[in-house]
Amino acid sequence: MILAAGRGERLRPLTDHTPKPLLPVRGKPLIEWHLEALARVGVRDVVINLSWLGELIRSALGDGSRWGLHIQYSEEGPVPLETGGGIFQALPLLGEAPFLIVNGDVFTSLDFAPLALRGDVDAHLVLVPNPPQHPRGDFCLNEGRIGEAAGERLTYSGIGVFSPRLFVGCSAGRFPLLPLFRRAIAAGRLSGERFDGFWNDVGTVERLQQLDTRS
């Protein structure tokens, strides 16, 4: 699932008329980099959630056949459901097996192929060194398990593999992911890995411009 419903407030005025996933990076829309990367590792079914200017994303990507993919869309209406609510609404499209989650507003060299749930966990997150805009990080990583107390703090990359079990007890509507992560941490059911390759949170006009000039 590619998360693509956000308004992109920090990228205004670029996102006033273009949804953030369609902003060009090195000559092609940001979301197309994800679609190409997913197709390369054998993914065939993709779900994309839509809200702000979602009809433009649907029109640009169609059914995904040009990448050898089958794209389905989860419509959230005019108000995005936040990350947790958006994924929860899309669960009927995602099925009962674990699924890959990719934030539509990150740009990365990460190879998606090795990502998987291993052992009895509810989610496996990719963590990255803290970027300048998020110096305190999100979580700690110790021997493959994620916590919030001891250890070096790292930042959640917006990429992970989730089991539908993570959403047990949730109700439809707007809600964030963090409480679900914390519930999984308390139960010892959140794993992770560190990625030191290229990763960029395309959250501002300046960071978008940096991607275009990076060699």
Per-position pLDDT tens, the chain of length 215: 999 998 766 767 766 788 889 988 888 999 999 999 999 999 999 999 999 889 999 999 999 999 999 999 999 989 999 999 999 999 999 999 999 999 998 999 999 999 999 888 999 999 999 988 888 999 999 989 999 887 789 999 999 999 999 999 999 999 999 999 999 999 999 999 999 999 998 877 777 777 776 64
Per-residue b/e over 52-63, b at no fewer than 16 CB within 10 Å?
bbbeebeeebee
| Residues of the domain holding 116 | 2-213
Per-residue model confidence (pLDDT) at position 14: 65
Per-residue model confidence (pLDDT) at position 214: 62
Pairing of strands 145-147, 199-201: unpaired
3-state secondary structure of 165: helix
CA distances from 122 to 79, 96, 188 (A): 27, 13, 9
Per-residue model confidence (pLDDT) at position 11: 63
Per-residue model confidence (pLDDT) at position 134: 87
Q: How many domains does the chain fold into?
A: 1
Amino acid at 189: R
Per-residue model confidence (pLDDT) at position 34: 96
Nearest CA-CA partner of 22 in 65, 55, 68 = 55
In a 13 Å sphere around the CA of 184, the CA atoms on its Cβ side amount to 25
Cβ neighbours of 36 (radius 10 Å) = 13
Per-residue b/e over 167-203, b at no fewer than 16 CB within 10 Å?
beeeeeeebebeebbeebbeeebbbbbebeeebbbbb
CATH code of the domain containing 69: 3.90.550.10
